[in-house]
Amino acid sequence: MHYLEIPVEVLDRPDARELMRFWVCDGEDYVALMTDLFGDNEPEVWGSVAADMLKHAIIAMSLSDPTRETTEIRDRMVAAFHERMASHGSYKGRLGQ
């Protein structure tokens, strides 16, 4: 198992919350989410979280390869996002313990 480091800016913050863990194994994705934190605004907050994650991925990719154009990365991500959302036939899963 390969773990990512927790950002030092949140290590000692009592108000910090881990919202998600995401793994890929054998071509499948596995996710643990912290939900029920945002009340009626839950869908909008998760939409913002998704956008912020993509923004940080764009920054990381453009920093690791400065020849990559951020707008092209963003456009490809947005297209992949729409394609993936359209391909989900059902929304099934389970709640962890």
Q: What is the reported pTM?
A: 0.80
What span, in angstroms and rounded, lies between the C-alpha atoms of 76 and 61? 13
> For residue 11, what is the DSSP state?
T
Residue-level pLDDT, tens digit, the chain, 97 residues: 888 999 999 999 999 999 999 999 999 888 999 988 899 999 999 999 999 999 999 999 999 999 999 999 999 999 999 998 898 777 777 777 6
Find, among 34, 7, 9, 10, the residue nearest to 20 by Cα: 34
Structure confidence at residue 97 (pLDDT): 60
Find, among 59, 54, 60, 62, the residue nearest to 79 by Cα: 54
